[in-house]
Amino acid sequence: MILALFLITLSSKIPILFRNNNYMVGDVVKSDIYSPKTIVFRDKIGKDKIIQDMIDRLDKDYIYSSDAADIYKEEFENFHKEIIAIKKGNLKSFDYSGFERKTGKVMPESLINKLLEEDEEKIDEIFSKLDGELENAYKAGIYKEKNSIRINEPAKSEIDALEPFEREIINNFLIPNYIYDEAKTKSTINEKVSQIHDQYIEIKAGTLIAKTGEILTDRKIDILDKLGIYNYKMSIFIIALNLIFLLV
C-alpha cells in the first residue's frame, strides 16, 4: 500500500519537471516573463558582482625596492668592463661563479663567447643601447606577482623589439623592483568589502523580468526563484518535499 502511494505521488509530480515555464541557467526564454507580484529581496548575486568589480578596479599594493635597480645597473656596468678587459687581454676569463654569487643568475657561456666575437666598438655600442633600455625598465617598473614578472609599458614593448641576442643579455639584469604585497592587498580588499552593504531590490508586479529569446543567467534564475516562478531546481525541490511528507 505504501509503495503504491509512493509511486502514485511520484508519477503525479513528474509532470512538474516538464512545465513550459521550467527554466535553468543557460535556457532561452520561450515567452516574456512578468513578475506576478511585488517583492523585495536580498540580491546576493548583485552584491557579489559589486564586490568583484571593486576588486578588479582596486590597485594592488607593492613593496618598492630602490636598491634593486641600483645593484643590477651597477652589475651591468661591471659586466661591460669585464668583457672589454677580456677582449683587451687584461683578464683571462669571465668570472661565472662571481656573477652568480652577486646576481643569483647563471650567465650562459655561449652568451659570453658570442659577445667576445664582436670588436670593442660593437661591444660598446651594444652596452650603450642596453644601458638606456635597462634604465627605462626600472623607471617604468618591474613587477613581481606570485610566480609571474611583468614590465610596465612602454619599456616592455621596447625590450620586446630588441634583437634576440640583446634581449638575452638584458634579461640577466632585470629583477623586480616592485614586489606584490599580498597580505596588505588582502587586508585592503577585506576592509573595502566590509563597507559594501546587502543589496535589496524591489520588483513590482507586472515588471518584465526576462524577454523572449533572452538567455537566463544565475541572477535571473535567482529572481525567478524569489517570485515563485518554476525552474528545474524548484520543481525537483517540490517533488522531494512531497516524497518526504509521504514517507514521514
The domain segmentation of the chain, as residue ranges, is 19-43+199-247, 62-180
Q: What are the angstrom distances between the C-alpha of 191 and each of 42, 46, 145, 182, 187?
A: 22, 19, 21, 14, 6
pLDDT at 191: 85
Percentage of residues of the chain with pLDDT beyond 70 = 83
Task: Let me know: does 65 contact 179? Beta carbons within 8 Å.
Answer: yes
83/91 Cα distance (integer angstroms):
9
243/248 Cα distance (integer angstroms):
9
The answer on pLDDT for 156 being more than 50 is yes
State pLDDT tens for residues 166-185: 999 999 999 999 988 888 88
More confident residue, 27 or 95: 95
pLDDT at 248: 53
pLDDT at 9: 44
State pLDDT tens for residues 217-243: 888 888 888 887 765 454 444 445 454
pLDDT at 29: 86
The answer on pLDDT for 15 being more than 60 is no
First to last CA, the chain: 15
Task: Report pTM.
Answer: 0.58
User: What is the rounded average pLDDT for all residues in the chain?
Assistant: 82
Q: How many CB atoms lie within 10 A of CB 133?
A: 19
Q: 89-124 in b/e burial notation, b at 16+ Cβ within 10 A?
A: eeeeebeeeebeeebeeebeeeebeebeeeeeeebe
CA 218 to the chain's CA centroid: 22
The CA-CA-CA angle for residues 93, 99, 100, to 5°, reads: 125
Q: What class has domain 19-43+199-247?
A: alpha beta
Task: Let me know: does 247 contact 49? Beta carbons within 8 Å.
Answer: no
C-alpha cell at 18: 516538464
178/52 Cα distance (integer angstroms):
24
pLDDT at 106: 93
State pLDDT tens for residues 35-86: 888 888 788 888 888 888 887 777 788 888 888 899 999 999 999 999 999 9
pLDDT at 18: 42
Least confident of 19-33, 70-84, 141-155: 19-33
Nearest to 178 by CA among 65, 52, 30, 32: 65
Burial class (CB in 10 A: 0-12, 13-18, 19+), 234: middle
148/62 Cα distance (integer angstroms):
14
State pLDDT tens for residues 108-127: 999 999 999 999 999 999 99
128/135 Cα distance (integer angstroms):
11
pLDDT at 10: 42
